[in-house]
Chain A
């Protein structure tokens, strides 16, 4: 690992030692963060998978009976029945912090007393069924949206954190360590040079006296 190019002075040495301490501490914290993120992520991912399977299954069923309804009713009748919803579905959208990552927190306003948005005169039973199935799956759908988004955000954050951990572990810290070693050696070498010079002068002085 190539060392950083700095002047081999005591000043630089102490600076580098401080930097190394910070880097090591940062590395440890990043690593902890990564581990915790992964743990949370796996929980979310499991939930996400289960939920998605459930939603897709139920949604497909709703869609299927809607296809049947379309077959038994004319297009205009269906449009007429569905175009005016009984009430708009709304969600309260909050923000939840998972390890200081913002993930959405949605809650659909309770739809008690579910009613069909149309009269029964011109509509088929298949349409009733599909609307009912969809109304049942709606809260799950919202929950899925929340969890899937959280999953995506966590995955991004984990990737970023892992890069940082690796950069610290395999680049920053070895680089600093190597530089410290080099400066230390250089300083030691100067010290030895100085010492021998002193000894030599002392010897020469003694010879002169004698």
Chain B
């Protein structure tokens, strides 16, 4: 059985405790990156990171890109979605197909 982790600021991710996920409070990008790295090595299946911290975690994300686990996924925080998840998806599509085919369908 694998675990799921959540990284984000206290106000946004405290709620995830209630449904039994492992929550880690981080407010600052560099520390979040380190926590994420630790979780990835400890065999978490998925780690959800708030959009605010997601950009500063790129280093770890790149490192684990070539493996099936963990899946590192951006989630909106309590100030709403900033569209980072959408942008990641769009980048993938562009990389794969050569152009953005999702935007106008």
Contact = CB atoms under 8 A, between A and B. Distances in A.
Contacts of A86: 20
B56 to A, nearest CB: 18
Contacts of B67: 102
Contacts of A109: 1
A134 B19 contact: yes
A173 interface: no
A88 to B, nearest CB: 5
B4 A91 contact: yes
Contacts of B101: 42
A87 B89 contact: no
Classify the interface of chain A: helix, strand, loop or mixed. Answer: helix
Interface in A136-156: 138, 141-142, 144-146, 148-149, 151-156
Nearest to A114: B19
Given A93-B69, A104-B71, A66 B89 contact: no
Interface stretch (A20-28, A54-62, A200-208): A54-62
Interface string A159-178: 10000000000000000000
Nearest to B11: A70
Contacts of B11: 67, 70
A48 interface: yes
Interface string B57-97: 00000000111110101011110110001101100110111
Contact of B93 (A45, A104, A130, A134): A45
B20 to A, nearest CB: 4
A152 B16 CA distance: 25
Interface of B: 1-4, 11-12, 14-22, 45-46, 48, 65-69, 71, 73, 75-78, 80-81, 85-86, 88-89, 92-93, 95-97, 101-102
Q: Lowest 3 A-B CB distances belong to which pairs?
A: A149-B71, A89-B20, A93-B2
